[in-house]
Amino acid sequence: MPRPTIAAADPSRATVRRVAALLAACLLPWSMLPWSAALADTASPTLERIRKAGVVKLGYRADARPYSYRDEKGRAAGYIVNLCREVASDIAAAMRSKVRTDYVLVPASARFEAVRDGHIDILCDPSSVSLERRELVDFSIPTFLDGASALSRSNRPIARFEDLKGLRVGVLAGTTTAESLRGALSDLRIKSDIVTVDDHYDGVDLLTADRIDVYFADRAIIASMMHHRRMPGFQLSKQYFSYETYALALPRDDSAFRLLVDRTLARLYRTGRIETIMAKSFGANLQDDMLKAMVLINSLPER
């Protein structure tokens, strides 16, 4: 499966290490707070709801492979879904009781509302963090870095926004990718026909049926779809048109629950177990300095 890469300004490894060390030092004072005591003494409406129901509800997407998708047997699968499974296991351990895990399929257009309204406890998909979204939900520490690229026919490659002039451009509704696309085209005064879709499969289907000229989406998702659908005659742009920081979306105003989630993720990063989890979705050779820096920065110590 093609692996995602982060097309940043190509910093040197030494620079990445320095940045990671500086940010980790800034976070250290927070990591030394008495979190265990805080978790025990702080009421969590989400954990209380889970305790009463005996179930933790994980929201996932059908179309966001390799992060969050429904596999050939109809099961929830993907890198971020696997992270949520680790969190669900820690929730059960913290409660010292049997807690069932339910997987709830959510559409991209209503996924944050599903968290806000209590239909799911954690959103396990490639959700980009933004301040506007934080009006609806909280976010965990980061889970991945990616960005938007363009899928088009091989005889019409897309290398810059200007190449979209006069074209029909598909994009997933309700995403930061759609917002970034509209903003960039407006700023550059480029006129294109933007066509929104409800899931990535619809977008690629429109492209192959020649009903749109380009489909914009997160690079790893498009690369995975191309790999599984085998799409000769189409190509994925080498350029990134946006950069996205993913995190798990959580209920707002529940710091105890967010702490439990962050503690699980930090342990996965700190112990190196994250490499095994990533390998299941991306292969064993995911060598990206910025992604490594993200893991290092968020490997928060327990004390």
CATH number of the domain that 281 lies in?
Answer: 3.40.190.10
Tokens representing residue 233 in the block:
């005659």
Tokens describing residue 205: 């289907």
Tell me whether residue 210 is in a domain. Answer: yes
d(CA 39, CA 58): 21
My answer on whether 136 and 281 are in the same domain is: yes
Assess whether 95 and 222 both reside in one domain: no
Tokens 């339910």 correspond to 102
Quick check: is 132 in a domain? yes
Is residue 1 domain-resident?
Answer: no
Structural domain includes residue 7: no
Domain identity same for 155 and 132: no
What tokens appear for 224 in the block?
Answer: 């995975």
CA distance 263 to 127: 19
Domain shared by 136 and 158, yes or no: no
Q: What is the pLDDT of residue 152?
A: 95
Q: What is the DSSP letter of 164?
A: G
pLDDT of 17 reads 52
d(CA 230, CA 240): 22
Please list, in sequence order, all residues whose beta carbon lies within 8 angstroms of the beta carbon of residue 276, skipping any fewer than 6 positions away.
none
Q: Name every residue whose Cβ is closer than 8 Å to that of residue 148 and which is 6 or more positions away in sequence.
A: 177, 180, 181, 216, 217, 218, 219, 240, 241, 242, 244
Same domain for 177 and 82?
no
Max CA distance (Å), the chain: 62
**How would you list the strands of the sheet with 214-218, edge to edge?**
193-197, 168-172, 214-218, 148-153, 234-236
Number of domains, the chain: 2
Residues 187 and 226 in one domain: yes
Residue 5 falls inside a structural domain: no
Classify strands 55-60 and 244-250 as parallel, antiparallel or unpaired. unpaired
Domain end marker among 185, 214, 236: 236
| pLDDT value, residue 23 | 45
User: In this predicted model, what pLDDT tens digit does every residue of 67-77 receive, in sequence order?
Assistant: 999 999 999 99
Residue bearing the bigger pLDDT, 242 or 215: 215
Is the domain of 158 the same as that of 273?
Answer: no
Q: Which residues contact 125 (CB under 8 A, 6 or more apart)?
A: 59, 60, 61, 64, 67, 68, 80, 106, 108, 111
Q: What angle do CA 202, 67, 46 make, to 5 degrees?
A: 110
pLDDT tens digits, one per residue of 200-234? 999 999 999 999 999 999 888 888 888 888 888 99
Beta-bridge partner residues of 56? 101
By residue range, what is the domain housing residue 116? 13-146+245-297
Instruction: Please calculate the CA angle 105-286-180 and round it to the nearest 5 degrees.
Output: 55
Is the domain of 184 the same as that of 221? yes
Of 29-43, 90-104, 120-134, which one has max mean pLDDT?
A: 120-134
Chosen domain end from 209, 236, 263: 236
User: Does residue 260 share a domain with residue 227?
Assistant: no
Amino acid at 294: M
Say if residue 113 is in the same domain as residue 18.
yes
Question: Two tokens at 181?
Answer: 């696309």
Structure tokens at 171: 């994009």
Residue 205 falls in which region: left (phi positive, over 0), alpha (psi -120 to 50) or beta = alpha
For residue 27, pLDDT beyond 60: no
pTM score of the predicted model: 0.76
Residue finishing a domain among 236, 259, 281: 236
Between 140-154, 174-188, 219-233, the lowest mean confidence (pLDDT) is in: 219-233
Please state, rounded to an integer, the average pLDDT across all residues of the chain. Answer: 86
303 part of a folded domain: no
30 and 120 co-located in one domain: yes
Q: Is residue 4 part of a domain?
A: no
Q: Same domain for 289 and 259?
A: yes
